[in-house]
Amino acid sequence: MSHQTPAPGALDAPGGPVGALGNPPERILMLPGPSNLHPRVRQALGAPLVGHKDPYFLELMERVTAQLRCLFQTVYSATFALPATGGSGMDAALINLLEPGDAVVVGVCGFFGERMVDIAQRVGARATVVQSPWGQPLDPEDIRRALERSEAKVVAVVHGETSTGVCQPLEEIAHAARAQGALLVVDAVASLGGVSLPCDALGVDVCFSGSQKCLSAPPGLAPITLSPAAMARILGRRQRVPSFYFDLTLHARYWSTEHIYHHTAPVLNVYALHQALCLIEEEGLEARFARHRLHARAATAGLEALGLHLLPEPAHRLASVLAVLVPEGVAEAPVRDVLATEFQLDISGGLGAYAGRLWRIGIMGHSAQRRNVALLLNGLEVALRRQGYHPRPGAALEAAEAVYAGAG
């Protein structure tokens, strides 16, 4: 690690000042986050900065918390945006709910499930891991048995596993959690706002996400919601939360109508999130979910017409992230390079065990558009042909168009 060797710092640099880097390129983001920003969201970032105690900002917080309740489909008021990027919700949820020695059941069927185990162990909890192979969802029966045996009062699963493109059904897991009196924690970083997740109806106790995925706000905020039972567990801890910044009881007070000061909010990020949530409100949640499904189906039809296969079975595919297996004889990274350099379109590679074996394509928020799907399929066809892989010309676009025509 470079920090071990104190490198000659910029202070000593003979070249003098570091200097400004030129402007960033304009990319089409079909990554599993971040997604492209709507012009209104970009515009919101340019509005005048106010202080974090300004009456305008306090009113904005109240709008945003109400909007987030709609998004999470919850009536609970401990619903707000943590002042840190997507990954922070997982940390905050587990650090607050778990104490040293506590039992927790963690479902692992991909990279982010593994991270939950890591965090649970960091705080000294006893994690019982329930696994399924990458690309398959968890078996709720396994969760039920693990809860019974471990007597854990918390179970944590990933709703949209962005590393595998799997959408985890939650009904039966929620049922198992309720039966054991355990709180259900759901990572919805890759799904919230793109895939239906009615927290109250399902019985989700803690759900967290990121601003930069299906919400299409800039990265920098982590929406989160807690049920009264989850908050009661935190208030009843034996030891205090080992972090001031992530103490969720303090965030709940800051976002309540009392607005008790806790931190300097990332004010401009909240402006942008508010606009992104206004756009969601205008579109309507159901219409938005349908849009994500439509573009995911069209893209999938095109990918299959190219002869490609998705990792998960059709029944468990996440609309917001398509995990596409790299075919035999094709090199993964050069295909992305063609898309990136010749089409200014970004997709992602695989994580962990699937590095080099998957492409991961985001169908998220403002990026989920017909013209982007068309360009993606066109670019993939060109890139695959470079590697001697010959799909039937135009088949991918034709298959996608058939989906759009059917939906028309």
369 binds its own copies (CB under 8 A): no
Question: 8 in helix, strand or coil?
Answer: coil
Of 77, 131, 369, 378, which lies in the binding site for its own copies, with binding defined by CB under 8 A? 77
Select 48 or 388, whichever has its Cβ closest to its own copies: 48
CA dist 137 and 159 (Å) reads 9
Draw the binding track, 212-231, toward its own copies (x: CB under 8 A; -: no contact).
x-----xxx-----x-x--x
Cβ atoms 124, 101 nearer than 8 A: yes
What residues contact 18, with CB distance under 8 A and at least 6 apart?
Answer: 10
Of 38, 81, 93, 95, which lies in the binding site for its own copies, with binding defined by CB under 8 A? 95
| DSSP string of 35-77, one letter each residue | BPPPHHHHHHHTSPP--TT-HHHHHHHHHHHHHHHHHHT---S
8 binds its own copies (CB under 8 A): yes
Interaction with its own copies in 256-275: which residues (CB under 8 A)?
256-258, 262-269, 271, 274-275
For residue 273, give both structure tokens: 């999130």
CA dist 137 and 260 (Å) reads 41
Interaction with its own copies in 10-39: which residues (CB under 8 A)?
10-13, 17-21, 23-27, 29, 31, 33-34, 36-37
Cβ atoms 153, 341 nearer than 8 A: no
Interaction with its own copies in 278-297: which residues (CB under 8 A)?
278, 281-282
The interface region with its own copies, picked from 58-66, 168-176, 310-318, 380-388 by CB under 8 A, is: 58-66
12-30 burial by CB neighbour count: b if 16+ within 10 A, else e?
A: eeeeeeeeeeeeeeeebbb
As a dihedral over the C-alpha atoms of residue 51, residue 57, residue 61, residue 67, rounded to 10 degrees, the angle is -130
**Shortest spacing between CB 213 and its own copies, in angstroms:** 9
CA dist 33 and 192 (Å) reads 12
Of 14, 38, 85, 133, which lies in the binding site for its own copies, with binding defined by CB under 8 A? 85
**Shortest spacing between CB 81 and its own copies, in angstroms:** 12
DSSP 239: S
Draw the binding track, 136-175, toward its own copies (x: CB under 8 A; -: no contact).
----------------------------------------
333 binds its own copies (CB under 8 A): no
Interaction with its own copies in 99-138: which residues (CB under 8 A)?
115, 118-119, 121-124
Interaction with its own copies in 180-209: which residues (CB under 8 A)?
none
Of 126, 129, 243, 389, which lies in the binding site for its own copies, with binding defined by CB under 8 A? 243
Select 219 or 391, whichever has its Cβ closest to its own copies: 219
What residues contact 302, with CB distance under 8 A and at least 6 apart?
Answer: 373, 376, 377, 396, 397, 399, 400
Select 221 or 403, whichever has its Cβ closest to its own copies: 221
- The β-bridge partners of 392 are none
> Residue 213 CB: number of other CB atoms within 10 A?
30
